[in-house]
Chains A and B, each alone.
Chain A
Amino acid sequence: MAYKRWIPLFLLALWLAACAPGETPALPTSTSSGPQTLTVMTHDSFAISEGVLAAFEAENNAKVQFLKAGDTGTALNKAILSKDNPLADVFYGVDNTFLSRALEEDIFEPYTSPRLGAIPDEFKLDPQSRLLPVDYGDVCLNYDQAYFAEKGIAPPSDLPDLLQPEYKGLLVVENPATSSPGLAFLLATIGTFGEQGYLDFWKELVANDVLVVNDWETAYYTEFSGSSGKGPRPIVVSYDSSPAFEVIYAASPIDEPPTAAVVSDGSCFRQVEFVGILKGVKNRPLAEKWVDFMLSEQFQGDLPLQMFVFPVSPEAKLDEAFVKHLILPEKTATVSAQEIAANRENWIKAWTEAVLR
């Protein structure tokens, strides 16, 4: 009977469903005699070496569970919306463009980690230590070395250079309304040209045929000629670490990056990422241990190759391969977290009016 032919399909489906990771045993709770549990909520880009985490877990007899929830903004929204019923003990990944939103919502408990002393003051943006700095990254212009060598023209050396006729139609940037490096680059122009001047700069950039796309992935892989997407434009907004990663993740071994970052004074914007203990934490001593751990030499040294960012601790050792192709900006454009909080929406709206309409 034809009907019976359904049975194997159901069996197969059941079997596959049984194989799904769903059937992993429930994690032990902190009340049992086994290891205590710590839940860390973070964004999609978070990564850590197995060995480094294992060391923390062994030392504290703990099991760390990670909850990842989309990009930084989405993850933070998740934490804010669930503040009456916290999903995690610790939140990592708030950056200085979201700092005020996180603090205004009052979702973090202060914790003055003993390790804060070793960290330069420029990174400590919350005087009450509800959010502690962990790492930073600089959003800078990147250019395709081969293009400029071939054409025999010099690459741009700072932001005003981008208005020169020889760079017409060469730049692709991200939309600050939808992309975190896009917002950082807008802030770099505000830091450089001031609140009065940045819109004029952008209008002239439009006249010089700048291309705006919505996300870093499209800008870097579809439009930028220096990446393996081989797009048409040789200048892109990316990070100062991107050239080093073009070497580390090259398709075949190379000793010189195909791209370079523009790091002159005021050309880059620094994004600092923070960690904090969430209000309603279930195991505060363990959460404190985790925050200390994120500021420790071990975790700080692990950061760069896992997350493409730099440790705030000056003591952390950086990987040789990484440092070799790295040039950090000496002076980045500065816009304070308070100014960002007060003006973020207006700046983006004004930018949208000036550039997209």
Chain B
Amino acid sequence: MNAISHRSRSALLWLPAALFLALFYFYPLGSILQASFARGQGGLLAPLGEAFGSPAIRGVVWFTFWQATLSTLLTLAFGLPGAYLLARYRFPGKSLLQALSTIPFVLPTLVVAAAFNAMLGPRGWVNLGLMELFDLAQPPVQFTYSLTAILLAHVFYNTAIVLRLVGDFWSHLDPRLSQAAQVLGASRGQTLRRITLPLIMPAIASAALLVFIFNFTSFGVILVLGGPRFATLEVEIYYQTVGLFNLPLAATLAMLQLGCTLCLTVAYTYLLRRVSRPLSLRPGAITQKRLVSWRERLFAAVYITLLLSLLVTPLVALAARSFTRLEAERGQLTQVERGFTLDFYKELGVNRRESLFYVSPATAIAVSLGYASATVLLALLLGLPASWALARHAASPISRAFDPLLMLPLGTSAVTLGLGFILALSRPPLDLRASPLLIPLAHTLVAFPFVVRSLAPALRSIRPRLGQAAAVMGAAPLQVARYIDLPLIGRAMLVAAIFAFTISLGEFGATALIARPEYPTIPLVIYRFLSQPGALNYGQALALSTILMLITAAGMLVIERFRIADVGEF
């Protein structure tokens, strides 16, 4: 292959992603930044001085880094043993466990906060139990509005990223490599340190980067669970934009946040180039074994218990509450049975006030699933060629330039980008005002980096010899892609699809700004209920959250069914 065709092929592969990002990311972002700075008198420098001159904002920057680092380390510490368990062992209920551990990803922060409070709040089970047990007057566990609450919520939300990304990659690692090391006399620890960890490093780095950026731009968790004493850059940008209408400062902070994301991804791509190496991936059927020895069983039992108690108990508590009527209220008109009820679910189907914006649960589900499917399709169509270019043409200057740019949408403030969408995409030449296309487009911006980070490590680790051998035997590049590469990355495609699906189902910040009121997604309807007083509204919010959890789990199990072909099955 000569250099020119190589380069033009790499450019061709990047074309869809480049067009997409240019139109739906850089154009809206540029418009809002320009409009924001145009409102200030002092040009670019005055707000910069304001930002760095303020001790409060310096504090915000410091806290943003500090909590994101800590959250990421904790998520890795909690997720990696789980990734190992899911990668190396087969056990009954494994898909269900995987599906359950991904559900937190889609839940609205207010709902998660309610669930955490039911367990760890001043009147939560834990405190009530301890008070009863030790006869205490005050709740002993101070959980709410603390750094602990923020960290725990971040682990709750992001463990799925580590489990999926690392677990999937690890499951295809040839176990004979570490077996050989042990035969040659290496201890378990040495094998892990010298063989396994270096080999799975690309997946760990990808997961760590995504988790870090998610935590770095954390908004809802900080506002709701952290309380007013904590603020990240994202929170400060929202406050400067909406509360104070100081757009030049908000834009400066948004650019600062972007700059940090960019530095981080550049460092990441540099690191990745040094740690990636081609491997021969093996199908999960070969690498995984059953839990046999007592040590393995104990490890599995302890880990699964931990995972269930952190990730699943809050979900169960929520679901249980949506089926429960509490104690009788004052001034009760009718005799009411306490306990199990389906009232909240039945009420979802009733438009009691004949409101124009009433949405039946069926409509909300259809809207959410429609947007999610469109997002999966769009993100995969854009992500496949881009990942291909990253894996195959990694050295080309175009790939080197594009790689760090892919992650930028994740590091962009939702309120900034949302306003940018409205500003840029509702005027010619691209008038998409009130178009339902806006939502899958915005969701794809978030899902796209996940798709690339799921696919690229798998594609990268395909040994070039396979493709070369096929080419020698006369296969055209497309045939190589179709008969060699695609089957080899089947599993990674599923992971990518699941990420795109769940991201779209759960996205709130951008959706709230651009959704049409007649067609809200499920999280938007949940927020509508929660913003009104009354037991029936609260109950309906929880009922709809339960429905969202079920749909997410069902969706993931369905996607898993489309097994494209595991590694090595051809």
Q: Which residues of A contact B (CB under 8 A)?
A: 2-3, 5-6, 8-10, 12-14, 16-17, 19-22, 24, 44-51, 53, 65-71, 73-74, 77-78, 80-82, 85, 87, 101, 145-146, 175, 177-178, 211-218, 220-222, 227-232, 238-239, 242, 245-246, 248-258, 305-306, 308, 345, 348, 356
A80 to B36, CA, bound (A): 11
In contact, A19 and B366 (Cβ under 8 angstroms): yes
Given contacts A17-B377, A81-B35, A178-B223, contact A220 B121 (CB under 8 A): no
Judged by a CB distance under 8 angstroms, whether B114 is at the interface is yes
Taking the nearest CB of chain A, how far is it from the CB of B468, in angstroms?
Answer: 21
Given A21-B367, A81-B419, A212-B227, A255-B356 contact (CB < 8 Å) = no
Given A13-B377, A47-B356, A178-B239, is A248 in contact with B534 using a C-beta cutoff of 8 Å? yes
Cβ–Cβ contact A20 & B370, under 8 A? yes
The answer to whether A249 touches B562, judged by C-beta atoms less than 8 angstroms apart, is no
* Residue B536 lies at the interface, judged by CB distance under 8 Å to chain A: yes
User: Which residues from chain B contact A19 at a C-beta distance below 8 Å?
Assistant: 366, 370
- Chain A residues positioned under 8 Å from B519 (CB to CB): 21
Complex Cα spacing A281 to B418, Å: 23
3 smallest beta-carbon distances between A and B, as pairs: A249-B534, A256-B331, A20-B370
Q: Which residue of B lies closest to A39 (CB)?
A: B434
Q: How far is the CA of A228 from the CA of B114 in the complex (A)?
A: 11
15 residue pairs of the A-B complex, CB under 8 angstroms, read A3-B486, A20-B374, A44-B527, A46-B517, A47-B353, A47-B355, A74-B242, A177-B228, A178-B238, A227-B535, A230-B326, A245-B532, A249-B532, A254-B330, A306-B353
Asked whether B538 is an interface residue with its Cβ less than 8 Å from the other chain, the reply is: yes
Supposing A20-B370, A21-B370, A101-B245 touch, asked if A214 and B224 sit within 8 A by C-beta, the answer is: yes
Q: Measured between alpha carbons, how far is A215 from B239 in the docked complex, in Å?
A: 13
- Residues A53 and B356 in contact, CB atoms below 8 Å apart: yes
Of B70-78, B273-281, B421-429, the segment with at least 4 beta carbons within 8 Å of chain A is: B421-429
Supposing A50-B354, A65-B434 touch, asked if A45 and B370 sit within 8 A by C-beta, the answer is no
Which residues on B sit within 8 Å (CB–CB) of A12? Answer: 373
Whether a CB of chain A sits under 8 angstroms from the CB of B513 is yes
B5 at the interface (CB under 8 A from A): no
The reply to whether A2 and B377 form a contact with Cβ atoms under 8 Å apart is no
Residues in B whose Cβ lies below 8 Å from that of A78: 419, 422, 513
Q: If the complex has contacts A16-B369, A253-B333, are A306 and B355 also in contact, measured as CB distance less than 8 A?
A: yes
Return the CB mask of B504-520 against A: 1 if under 8 Å, else 0: 00000000110111110
CB distance from B49 to the nearest CB of A (A): 18
CA–CA, A257 and B519, complex, Å: 33
Residue in B343, B516, B517, B563 with the greatest tally of chain A CB atoms within 10 Å: B517
Instruction: Select from chain B the residue with minimum beta-carbon distance to A101.
Output: B245
Q: How far is the CA of A101 from the CA of B122 in the complex (A)?
A: 40
Contact A22–B329 (Cβ < 8 Å): no
Contact A10 B377 (CB under 8 A): yes
Q: Nearest-CB distance from B347 to chain A (Å)?
A: 9
Question: Within the complex, what minimum Cβ distance (angstroms) separates A228 from chain B?
Answer: 4
User: Which chain A residues lie closer than 8 Å to B241 at the CB level?
Assistant: 74, 77
Per a CB cutoff under 8 Å, which of B228, B244, B418, B483 touches A356?
B228
B81 at the interface (CB under 8 A from A): no
The yes or no answer to B135 lying at the interface (CB within 8 A) is no
CB-nearest residue of chain A relative to B493?
A: A6
Q: In whole angstroms, how far apart are the Cα atoms of A254 and B534 in the complex?
A: 12
With beta carbons under 8 angstroms apart, the residue of B415, B437, B563 that contacts A5 is B563
Q: Mark interface residues in B239-254 (1 if CB within 8 Å of A CB, else 0).
A: 1011111000000000
Given A14, A249, A255, which contacts B533 in the complex, CB threshold below 8 Å? A249
* B110 near A218: Cβ-Cβ < 8 Å: yes
Do A238 and B533 have beta carbons less than 8 Å apart?
yes
**B564 within 8 Å of A by Cβ?**
yes
Which residues in A have their C-beta under 8 angstroms from that of B483? 3
Complex Cα gap A19–B229 (Å)? 45
Determine if A44 and B531 form an interchain contact, defined as CB atoms under 8 angstroms apart. yes
* Interface size of B in residues (CB-CB distance below 8 Å): 92
A227 and B538 form a contact (CB under 8 A): yes
Whether the Cβ atoms of A251 and B437 lie closer than 8 Å is: no
B243: which of A3, A216, A228, A348 is its contact (CB, 8 Å)?
A348
- B376 near A13 with CB under 8 A, answer yes
Minimal beta-carbon separation of A90 from chain B (angstroms): 15
B565 lies within 8 A of A249 (CB) = no
Chain B residues, CB < 8 A from A10 = 377
Asked whether B427 lies within 8 Å of A85 as measured between CB atoms, the reply is yes
* Contact yes or no, B528 A44, CB < 8 A: yes
B366 (CB) vs chain A CBs: closest residue: A19
Binding site for A on B (CB under 8 A): 32, 35, 110, 113-114, 117, 121-123, 144-145, 223-224, 227-229, 238-239, 241-245, 325-326, 329-334, 336, 341, 343-344, 353-357, 366-367, 369-371, 373-374, 376-377, 415, 418-419, 422-423, 426-427, 433-437, 482-483, 486-487, 490, 512-513, 515-519, 527-528, 530-539, 559, 562-565, 569-570
Whether the Cβ atoms of A217 and B564 lie closer than 8 Å is no
Alpha-carbon distance A248/B490, docked complex (angstroms):
53
Judging by beta carbons under 8 Å apart, are A177 and B243 in contact? yes
User: Which of B433, B563, B565 lies in contact with A87, CB distance below 8 A?
Assistant: B433
- Bound complex: CA A168 to CA B60 (Å): 31
A44-B528, A178-B223, A251-B329 known, 18 other contacts, Cβ within 8 Å: A2-B564, A12-B373, A13-B377, A17-B374, A44-B531, A81-B32, A85-B426, A177-B239, A213-B228, A214-B223, A217-B531, A229-B114, A238-B533, A245-B533, A246-B533, A249-B536, A258-B329, A306-B355
Contact assessment for B366 and A251 in the assembled complex, using a CB-CB cutoff below 8 Å: no
Q: How far is the CB of B560 from chain A (nearest CB, A)?
A: 11
Given contacts A222-B121, A229-B538, A238-B533, whether A256 and B330 have CB atoms under 8 Å apart is yes
Query: In the complex, which residues of chain B have a beta carbon less than 8 angstroms from the beta carbon of A145?
Result: 330
Task: State which of A49, A70, A245, A305 has its C-beta within 8 Å of the C-beta of B356.
Answer: A49
Is the beta-carbon distance between A232 and B224 smaller than 8 angstroms? no
- Who on chain A is nearest to B332 by CB? A254
CA–CA, A255 to B515, complex, Å? 38
Which residue of chain B has the shortest Cβ distance to A64 in the bound complex? Answer: B356
Q: Which residues of B contact A2 (CB under 8 A)?
A: 487, 490, 564-565, 569-570
The docked-state distance in angstroms from the alpha carbon of A73 to that of B242 is: 5
- How far is B325's CA from A82's CA once the two chains are assembled, in angstroms? 47
**Is the Cβ of A250 less than 8 Å from the Cβ of B239?**
no
Which A-chain residue is minimally distant from B239 (CB atoms)?
A177
Nearest residue (CB) in B for A10 is: B377
B282 CB to closest chain A CB, in angstroms?
A: 17
Distance A29 CA – B125 CA, assembled complex (angstroms)? 57
A251 & B536 in contact (Cβ 8 Å cutoff): yes
Which residue of the partner chain, among B332, B513, B528, contacts A252 with CB atoms under 8 Å? B332
> By the criterion CB–CB under 8 Å, are A227 and B533 in contact?
yes
Considering the complex, give the chain A residue whose CB is closest to the CB of B238.
A178
What is the chain A residue whose CB lies nearest that of B531?
A217
Q: Is the CB of B371 within 8 A of A345?
A: no
CA of A213 to CA of B355, assembled, Å:
30
Contact flag A221-B114 (CB < 8 Å), given A17-B373, A87-B422: yes
Check A218/B533 contact, CB under 8 A, given A74-B415, A178-B228.
Answer: no
Residue of A nearest to B353 (CB): A305
Given known A-B contacts A47-B356, A249-B537, A77 and B242 have beta carbons under 8 A apart: yes
Closest-CB distance, B153 to chain A (whole angstroms): 13
